[in-house]
Structure 1
Amino acid sequence: MPRRLLAGIARFVAVMLAIGGAYVVAGWSLALIPRNAGWRPAGQGVTIWVEDNGVHTSLVLPKQAAGIDWRADFPARDLRDPRYGDHAYVAVGWGERHFYLGTPTWSDVRASTVLRAALGSDDTLLHVEHVARPTTGDDAREVTLSVTAYRRLAAAIRASRGTGGVIAGYDRYDVFYPAIGRYDALHTCNDWTSDTLARVGVRVGWWTPFAGGVMRWFPR
């Protein structure tokens, strides 16, 4: 292989590594800068959870609270097994269709899937799981919102819902729905979580492309 071609390939690889490194550094650094720095959890109101599966973050919400009833938005009949609709909570996340459907866990992540999503897509989904009350811990952090803030949160989530048919989930208790919004490297599934919380005044990081950047604002 000619030296000039080898040198070109080496430069390309070096540039890609530099871009990737800068992205990671920026993602973790900007996640340390707060939005809504003065926010404090409500003394009384509605308890929700911010949940992390290692790749995607989601918001876990009571099905019935503060006049909001998610059973109409996400009915049990949409599930592969409607009996899971008896659970009292829903976990809601947002993301790019192919990335979501192809990466339920870190072990499923593929470079081609990440690159495709990072370049940008308007094909996004809401992921909804019907779950029991979470156990607060490393993967689920408890947050108490005022009734007003919770109703605004519900409105923001509903505004992310698109139109179209139901898409089968990973298991019997979850399902996907078409969503609204563009996914790319600057606006990931984890940014959606932070942005949705920030809209109702919750303290979150300025830019949180990674799940850890979201969760750090909600200590155990």
Structure 2
Amino acid sequence: MSLPEIIARIRAACARADRSPAEVSLIAVSKVQPPERVEAVLDAGHRIFGENRVQEAQGKWPAWKDAYGGVELHLLGPLQSNKVRPAMELFDTIHSIDRIKLARRIADMAQEMGRCPGLFLQVNTGEEDQKAGVSPSEADAFIREVRGLDLPVLGLMCIPPADETPSLHFALLAKIAARNGLSGLSMGMSADFEQAIALGATHVRVGSAIFGARVAG
């Protein structure tokens, strides 16, 4: 697979869903990828990337942001409270707001910094113990509470259980977003992004299908 092939598949999925490709942002998930692979995608003109860890992103993205104009960086993995400042300094969007304490910390830091990244609230649609995110039954209250902090909530994010049909989880996330007046849906990865697009995804997170298998290290 390659970046042009993924873009072609996104366009085809949008056409099948009667959507414009402009409605879907492709986040190239560059975590633990060798620099040469990331630079090849940058050289190809792609500018939207995702990382899972603040510390890893700090080690590589400031230089790439300087070298390549227009880079948009998304934090996809869990965010610890003690990493809020560097995350807000480096990332344009954070997809993993999963608890009110974290949202309050971001609100306080936004007041201090005078700016705030766009935020997605994570919903644990499968109610899996090992995954972050609020349960679907708690989502409406969580959305109201975070909005009450005057934060830029763009939408919702989920990671479906590996052993369940992802479209059921995408449909659930879309339903929760719709009833709360949220348009952003961060859902869909390498194996299921076309299903996510069919159900309204605005941001798909694709790593291995663009870069190849992750390099252990």
- The TM-score range, normalised by the shorter chain, is under 0.3
- What TM-score results when the alignment is normalised by the length of structure 1? 0.27
- What TM-score results when the alignment is normalised by the length of structure 2? 0.28
Higher helix share: 2
- Which structure's CA Rg is the greater one? 1
